[in-house]
Structure formats: C-alpha cells, structure tokens
Structure 1
Amino acid sequence: MNRFAPALLAVAVLWSTVSQALDVEQRRAEALLQRMCARCHAVGRTGASPNELAPAFRHLGENKLYDPDFTQRLQEGYSSIHRAMPTARFGRDDAEAVVSYLRAIQEPRKPK
C-alpha cells in the first residue's frame, strides 16, 4: 500500500468538506433567512418546510436565482401572491448574500 494513501485520503475529505462549506457572507445570509423566513420555509440544505405550501429554499431552482432582476427585487421588496407571506426587503449587501446562499444550497431537480 502506498504510504501516502492515508494523507491523500485526508486531503480529499478535507477538500470536499471545504468546497461544500458556506463562506462568511453565505452564513450571514442563512442566519438572516432563518430569522425572517424559517417560520414557513425550510431555509437549509435539509428538512421540510413548516408550512407545507411554502417551498424549501433549496428547491427554488435556477430560473429564479439566475434571473438578473432577482437581486433587485429582493432590494425593492419581494412578495408573493400568497396573502400570508410578508414582503421581504433587503439592503443590497444582504440581497447579494441571500442570492449567493440560495445558489449554494440548491439541489438538482429530480426527473418526474
């Protein structure tokens, strides 16, 4: 057995963990979304939404998150057609952090 194999395995595991870790901005956005949205939405990488009608944020999909106007809408006041959802308004830095976080946690859609 190669004497470097354990070290290479450790580096590979560490690299994988680091690449999946959230940066400081994304962790700040996660905390913000926990405070503002977790009453209804699952905001993390796992778990069900407390409100079954509210989508888990990890399932929002690329169309919304890569829409160039989405960050702007977060700044102006993002709202939904659902009466129970309050309007969410973020400063520019927070809006950019939220979009970065949401992109980081997206799960690929499973084929139907």
Structure 2
Amino acid sequence: MIGRILMPLAFTLISLMPAAAASPQEQRGKTFALNNCARCHSIDKVSPSPLKIAPPFRTLHKRYPVEALSEALAEGIQTGHPTMPEFQLDPDQIGDLLAYLKTLE
C-alpha cells in the first residue's frame, strides 16, 4: 500500500525537477535552427513541422546517425524538401547544430 502511494509521489517529484540547462553549444545550435530552419521544420520535441513534408528535427536520428549529417551540412544540403534552400555551415555552426539535434533524440 505504501508503495502505491510513494511511487506516484516520486514520479511527480522527478517530473518537477528542472531539466539540465543547455550548454552554450546546444543553445547556439537551437538559435541557428530557430533562425534558419523553424519556418519549415519542427525544431522541438513535440510540435508538428509547419511544412508537412519537412521532417521534424526530433526524428532525424531515426533516419541518419546525427554525426553523419556533418558532411552534408559542410558541403551544402541539396536534397531536402523541394522548398529547402541550399546552404553550407561552417565547422562551428555544424558542431552547434549537431549538439542541439542530439538533445532531441
């Protein structure tokens, strides 16, 4: 009986604990995604993508190992959804964006 009372209480306390703060690199990656990608892609853990054919960032790790995206980001992504602009990121931007993408797994 006590276990049935304590388990929900423990779950509630754990769920109320603040999440770990994002590192500066993760925060820069999130900012980059917000400024450059959020018009089409969902960049969070729950919302749908504004553009239906643009995959939510939280699902990218199911399609590709996140680290494997670094080469495509450096060379310029040319195969995305039809309205996706081509762009290239510098090494620091790639590291930042990949760090952020890993937080969504």
Q: Which amino acid aligns with 2:101?
A: L
CA RMSD of the aligned region, Å? 2.1
Q: Does structure 1 conserve the Cα–Cα contact (< 8 Å) formed by 2:54 and 2:81?
A: no
Q: Does structure 2 conserve the Cα–Cα contact (< 8 Å) formed by 1:57 and 1:102?
A: yes
| TM-superposed deviation, 1:60 | 0.8
| TM-superposed deviation, 1:81 | 4.8
Aligned equivalent of 1:4: none
Aligned residue-pair number = 91
Q: Does structure 2 conserve the Cα–Cα contact (< 8 Å) formed by 1:30 and 1:44?
A: no
| TM-superposed deviation, 1:45 | 2.0
| TM-superposed deviation, 1:83 | 2.6
Q: Which runs of 5+ in 2 are unaligned?
A: 1-12
Aligned equivalent of 1:3: none
Aligned equivalent of 1:51: 51
Aligned equivalent of 1:73: 72
Moved beyond 4 Å, runs of 4+? none
Query: Percent of aligned pairs with the same residue?
Result: 26
CA distance in 1: counterparts of 2:80 and 2:96, whole angstroms: 24
Q: Residues 1-45 of structure 1, C-alpha deviation per residue, up to 9 Å, x if partnerless?
A: xxxxxxxx69x935xx22xx3211111111111111111100122
So what's the TM-score if we normalise by structure 1? 0.70
Q: Which runs of 5+ in 1 are unaligned?
A: 1-8, 107-112
